[in-house]
Amino acid sequence: MTTRRTFVIRLIAASGLAWAVSGGTALAQGAKPVRIGFSIAKTGIFAAAAPSQLNAYELWREQVNARGGMEIGKEKRPVEFVMYDDQSNPAQAAKIYEKLITDDKVELLLAPWGTPMHVAVAPVLERLRFPMVGNTAASVKVRELKPGNIWFTTAAIPDRIGRELAAMLKANGVKSAALLTNVLPFGKEIKGYLEPALKRAGIEIKVNEEYPPDVKDMTAMLARVKQAAPDAVLALSYPGDSALYVRQAKELGIGARFQFVMIGPAMDFFPKALGSAANDIVTVGEWSPARNARAKGFHAAYVAKFKEKPDYLDSALAYMSCEILEQAVKSAGLDKTRLREAISKGSFETINGTVRFKGVENALTKTGFLQLQSGEPQLVWPAAEATAKFRPKTSW
Amino acid sequence: MIETLASGQLLFAALAAGATYALVALGLNLVYGTMRLLNVAHGDLVMLGGYAAYWCFTLAGVSPLVSLAGIALAAAALGSAAYYGLFRRMLGASATAARLESNSLLLFFGVSIIVQNAAALAFTATPRGYQYLAEVHHFGNIALTGNRLAALLVAAALLAAILAFLRLHIFGLALRGLIEHREGAAVVGVDIDRVQHASFALGFGSAAVAGALLSMTEQVSPFTGFPYTIAAFVVVIMGGLGSIGGGMLAALLLGLLETYGVALTSSNYRSILLYGVFVLVLLTRPQGLFGRRAIVR
Domains recognised in chain B with CATH numbers: 2-284 (1.10.3470)
Which tens digit of pLDDT belongs to each residue from A176-207?
Answer: 999 999 998 889 999 999 999 999 999 999 99
Q: Which of A48, A215, A243 shows the shortest C-beta gap to B126?
A: A48
Distance from CA of B143 to the nearest CA of A (A): 6
Confidence of residue B5 (pLDDT cuts 50, 70, 90): confident
* Percent over 70 (pLDDT), chain A: 92
Interface of B with A in 134-153 (CB under 8 A): 134, 136, 143-145, 148
Interface size, chain A vs chain B, as Cβ–Cβ contacts under 8 Å:
135
Decide if B262 touches A, using CB distance below 8 A. Answer: yes
pLDDT at A333 over 90: yes
pLDDT at A20 over 70: no
Q: Are residues A329 and A190 in the same domain?
A: no
Which tens digit of pLDDT belongs to each residue from A68-83?
Answer: 999 998 899 999 999 9
C-alpha to C-alpha distance for B3 and A226, rounded to whole angstroms: 12
Q: What is the mean pLDDT of residues B2-30?
A: 90
Instruction: Specify the amino acid at residue B74.
Output: A
Decide if A211 touches B, using CB distance below 8 A. Answer: yes
Tally the domains of chain A.
2
pLDDT, chain A, mean: 91
Contact B267 A269 (CB under 8 A): no
CB B91 within 8 Å of CB B36: no
Q: Are residues A170 and A46 in the same domain?
A: no
Q: Which residues are paired to A208 by β-bridges? A: A179
The arrangement of strands across the sheet holding A369-373 comes to: A204-211, A176-182, A232-236, A258-261, A281-284, A369-373, A376-381
CB A51 within 8 Å of CB B226: no
Say which residue, B267 or A323, is predicted with more confidence: A323
pLDDT at A267 over 80: yes
C-alpha to C-alpha distance for B145 and B63, rounded to whole angstroms: 16
Q: Are residues A139 and A163 in the same domain?
A: no
**Phi, psi (deg, nearest 5) at residue A79:** -95, 135
Which CATH number covers residue A59? 3.40.50.2300
Q: Are residues A125 and A221 in the same domain?
A: no
Q: Which residues are paired to A305 by β-bridges? A: none
pLDDT attached to residue A230: 98
Q: Are residues A267 and A376 in the same domain?
A: yes
Q: Are residues A121 and A209 in the same domain?
A: no
pLDDT attached to residue B170: 93
Distance from CA of A267 to the nearest CA of B (A): 9
Which tens digit of pLDDT belongs to each residue from B227-284?
Answer: 999 999 999 999 988 889 999 999 999 999 999 998 898 888 988 999 999 999 999 9
Confidence of residue B293 (pLDDT cuts 50, 70, 90): low
Q: Which residues of B touch A243 (CB under 8 A)?
A: 127, 129, 218-219
Decide if B284 touches A, using CB distance below 8 A. Answer: no
Q: Is A192 exposed, middle or buried (0-12, 13-18, 19+ CB in 10 A)?
A: middle
Confidence of residue A25 (pLDDT cuts 50, 70, 90): very low
C-alpha to C-alpha distance for B99 and B193, rounded to whole angstroms: 19
Name the residue range of residue A206's domain. Answer: 158-284+368-385
Distance from CA of A223 to the nearest CA of B (A): 7
Interface of A with B in 23-42 (CB under 8 A): 42
Best of A2, A219, A272 to mutate (most B CBs within 10 Å, chain B): A219
Decide if B6 touches A, using CB distance below 8 A. Answer: no
Which tens digit of pLDDT belongs to each residue from A98-117?
Answer: 999 999 999 999 999 998 89
pLDDT attached to residue B89: 86
Cβ neighbors of A30 (< 8 A, separation 6 or more) are none
Contact B136 A250 (CB under 8 A): yes
C-alpha to C-alpha distance for A84 and A93, rounded to whole angstroms: 9
Give a yes or no: residue A214 inside a domain: yes
pTM of the model: 0.90
Give a yes or no: residue A4 inside a domain: no
Which tens digit of pLDDT belongs to each residue from B157-179?
Answer: 999 999 999 999 999 999 999 98
Q: Are residues A113 and A236 in the same domain?
A: no
Confidence of residue B36 (pLDDT cuts 50, 70, 90): confident
C-alpha to C-alpha distance for A227 and A204, rounded to whole angstroms: 15
Contact A224 B129 (CB under 8 A): no
Measured from the Cβ of residue B288, the count of other Cβ atoms closer than 10 Å reads 21
Strands B136-139 and B142-145: antiparallel
Interface of B with A in 51-110 (CB under 8 A): 106, 109
Pick from A49-63, B68-82, B275-289: least confident: B275-289
Q: Which residues of A touch B116 (CB under 8 A)?
A: 43
Give a yes or no: residue A392 inside a domain: no
pLDDT attached to residue B40: 94
- Number of residues written out for chain B: 297
Best of A217, A246, A302, A307 to mutate (most B CBs within 10 Å, chain B): A217
Interface of B with A in 157-186 (CB under 8 A): none
Confidence of residue B11 (pLDDT cuts 50, 70, 90): very high
Q: Does residue B132 come out as left (phi exceeding 0), alpha (psi in the -120 to 50 range) or beta?
A: beta
Q: Are residues A269 and A302 in the same domain?
A: no
Give a yes or no: residue A325 inside a domain: yes
Decide if B40 touches A, using CB distance below 8 A. Answer: yes
Q: Are residues A84 and A179 in the same domain?
A: no
Distance from CA of A47 to the nearest CA of B (A): 6
Decide if A277 touches B, using CB distance below 8 A. Answer: yes
pLDDT attached to residue A48: 83
Q: Is A133 exposed, middle or buried (0-12, 13-18, 19+ CB in 10 A)?
A: buried
Give a yes or no: residue A394 inside a domain: no
pLDDT attached to residue B87: 87
pLDDT attached to residue A46: 84
Q: Are residues A266 and A377 in the same domain?
A: yes
Q: What is the mean pLDDT of residues A124-131?
A: 96
C-alpha to C-alpha distance for B202 and B185, rounded to whole angstroms: 19
Say which residue, A301 or A26, is predicted with more confidence: A301
Best of B109, B145, B149, B219 to mutate (most A CBs within 10 Å, chain A): B219
Confidence of residue B14 (pLDDT cuts 50, 70, 90): very high
Decide if B263 touches A, using CB distance below 8 A. Answer: yes
Q: Which of B130, B145, B259 shows the shortest C-beta gap to A217?
A: B259
Confidence of residue B30 (pLDDT cuts 50, 70, 90): very high
pLDDT at A14 over 90: no
Measured CA distances, B269 to A75, A247, B66 (Å):
60, 22, 38
Contact B129 A243 (CB under 8 A): yes
Q: Are residues A59 and A178 in the same domain?
A: no
Decide if B271 touches A, using CB distance below 8 A. Answer: yes
Contact A251 B127 (CB under 8 A): no
Distance from CA of B221 to the nearest CA of A (A): 7
Instruction: Please give the ipTM for the structure prediction.
Output: 0.91
Contact A47 B230 (CB under 8 A): no
Q: Are residues A179 and A211 in the same domain?
A: yes
* Percent over 90 (pLDDT), chain B: 72
Q: What is the mean pLDDT of residues A281-305?
A: 96
Measured from the Cβ of residue A146, the count of other Cβ atoms closer than 10 Å reads 12
Which tens digit of pLDDT belongs to each residue from B179-219?
Answer: 888 889 989 999 999 999 999 999 999 999 999 999 999 99
